[in-house]
Structure 1
């Protein structure tokens, strides 16, 4: 039966409208999934409290981002307006040696808000870093203060690793303040900032609680340095500490304190020593931290930095990492050392 084209198009429009109304009604009947539920499904694994190892400073004011841009190795402008949830960086001295490894978190949610930034660092470095920042503050409009009311937690996934394309930062209900992928490496999971004394594990039913020793063991096993023991202030060099591999440096940003040596080393392309994960034949006594690591012929191959049980980090000459290595302990048998290259490091073709 023939029908006018306008009638046929009108019937099609009515059918389409009816379907849209049906879908809309079904959507209204479905309960809305809260952001926390989405986060809980994403965050599964072990939740580690880091309050005894990591502290926080808070920088607030219109000049906070510009101020950090001149003092950190990474591009702090990425934090403006909350565009980037977290940023890894080092603070350097004028000789280009690391003063501290830090993670910067933006609490601002839009360009119209003044910068509000949390600076995570080794708990022993909170006061020295505050003093260091104050020296360079001069007339900058930025307030710098410790933030004891907040604490840092790490969530290390089990079988699943964080999706780098996932939402950069997740806002959670109290007591959590923010949750974001660890900017250093996917093997480090997520970083969670929550109210001190709270129990963020209750917000994430698919996680179980862990302890800081197991967290450190995970870091050493996977080769991720953190804190003053792994990166001694005024001694460690940022590129030997794998700052490039851990997304902690920008070579296209403007000048910052300690840039000259770092940029020159990078552009020459010659890095003879690196921090590497090592496995020991038996645990070292605490006083042996910093011990020299030697080859079988007795030649120095580097130094042991720190570790937990038989896992640790050592600054080794790359020319010797495939050789049998050992540490001599006075009055005891030597301890064998086996170095490895982390799987998350970029392959040679990617460098």
Structure 2
């Protein structure tokens, strides 16, 4: 297929064309935000203003995510050839965070990553790369393998910690207000999660810094609640949800998470992904599922069936009664079954996430 760089675009949602440096960029904006389920707050009077109520935001420490600093004059062209998204987006004013996948040559996902532009105070061009902690050694080898003679330095950042910040308030149809920082100089990354507004904000700090000293009206939450929120809205993250060399990017809803450019030119694994996109046929998708009761010890890839015994997909991962499964779209509206490791038959139902485009066809 022809590989060329054309005008940039972002997949799905609402698009606005703006002119930068003599060319037009199609910049995608998401609308429609549902924050996590709110916690009731006692009303002391009818005049109580929500923003003055303590604990309006929740900070979740994410020890399962780690960071690399990639820095040097070749940072952008180096990453451009090995990720699904377009590094040019980080040069657009107002865009400092980007979601992407790295694929193998067969077009299957190896790693899900987030990239954050370094602050201007950092010397030279560069980014922070966030990835699953479990594959940090593997991704480092992957980066070094494709580095060749590029002028880039790649360094792990074990001294940094990644946090997710979510709003307790539900603001249907409106973007949640970004929390104010009391000490922005101590913050290395403070960006809206690029995958969907329902995931709040990403915060990177030095490990000894307490986010409660940085963000007003914030309280700490349990990391498992962060995962419950992800599974409830159907958003995959890390190797359990996206098994390396197994998951396909479009079946994993990469386009819906603003993680792929279909116009940037060549990158590793592009051919199959581009062909699938242009056929417009994705027969299976990763979807949020809810079991009839909390479950434990499900095997990765456990087979799903319809009530009549037809193959309906495979289970990926979850917590409690929530999870993610790769569902055949032809059976997405049916009650499905799965056999657990102790041979118990479990019932589950899939749902369509609110953050998906409204024109997604479910049979």
TM-score (structure 2 length as normaliser): 0.79
Match of 2:75 among 64, 75, 82: 64
Higher relative contact order (CA closer than 8 Å, sequence separation 6+): 2
- 1:62 & 1:81 partners in 2: Cα distance? 18
Residue 176 (structure 1) aligns with: 187
195-204 or 327-336, which moves further after superposition?
Answer: 327-336
What's the CA shift string for 1:28-81, capped at 9, x where partnerless? xxxxxxxxxxx999x94211000x210111100000111111111001122248
1:208–1:76 Cα change, 3 Å: same
The reply on whether 1:149 has 2:159 as its aligned counterpart is: yes
Match of 1:203 among 190, 208, 214: 214
SS at match of 1:48: strand
135-144 or 171-180, which moves further after superposition?
Answer: 171-180
Question: Structure 2 stretches of 5 or more lacking a match?
Answer: 1-50
SS at match of 2:166: strand
- 2:275 & 2:216 partners in 1: Cα distance? 48
Counterparts of 1:247-326 in structure 2, within 5 Å, are 247-326=258-337
Residue 7 (structure 1) aligns with: none
Displacement, 1:289?
A: 3.2
Residue 125 (structure 1) aligns with: 135
Residue 47 (structure 1) aligns with: 59
1:115–1:171 Cα change, 3 Å: farther
Which has the larger helix fraction?
1
- 1:174 & 1:298 partners in 2: Cα distance? 58
- 1:143 & 1:115 partners in 2: Cα distance? 11
Displacement, 1:324?
A: 1.6
- Say whether the 8 Å CA contact 2:119–2:188 is kept in structure 1: no
- 2:56 & 2:213 partners in 1: Cα distance? 12
What's the CA shift string for 1:258-300, capped at 9, x where partnerless? 1000000000000000000000012232243321111011111
- Say whether the 8 Å CA contact 1:48–1:153 is kept in structure 2: yes
Match of 2:255 among 244, 252, 265: 244
201-210 or 236-245, which moves further after superposition?
Answer: 201-210
SS at match of 1:135: helix
| Aligned residues between the structures | 308
- 2:310 & 2:174 partners in 1: Cα distance? 43
- Say whether the 8 Å CA contact 1:82–1:107 is kept in structure 2: no
Displacement, 1:331?
A: 4.3
- 1:232 & 1:86 partners in 2: Cα distance? 24
- 1:349 & 1:315 partners in 2: Cα distance? 16
- Say whether the 8 Å CA contact 1:66–1:77 is kept in structure 2: no
The reply on whether 1:140 has 2:150 as its aligned counterpart is: yes
SS at match of 1:288: coil
- 1:171 & 1:115 partners in 2: Cα distance? 27
327-336 or 290-299, which moves further after superposition?
Answer: 327-336
SS at match of 2:77: helix
1:141–1:301 Cα change, 3 Å: same
Q: RMSD of the TM alignment (CA)?
A: 2.6
Displacement, 1:157?
A: 1.1
Displacement, 1:333?
A: 3.3
What's the CA shift string for 1:9-42, capped at 9, x where partnerless? xxxxxxxxxxxxxxxxxxxxxxxxxxxxxx999x
1:284–1:179 Cα change, 3 Å: same
Counterparts of 1:7-156 in structure 2, within 5 Å, are 44-50=56-62, 52-80=63-91, 84-109=95-120, 114-156=124-166
- 1:149 & 1:171 partners in 2: Cα distance? 22
- 1:349 & 1:221 partners in 2: Cα distance? 19
- Say whether the 8 Å CA contact 1:98–1:234 is kept in structure 2: yes
- 1:280 & 1:262 partners in 2: Cα distance? 31
SS at match of 2:290: strand
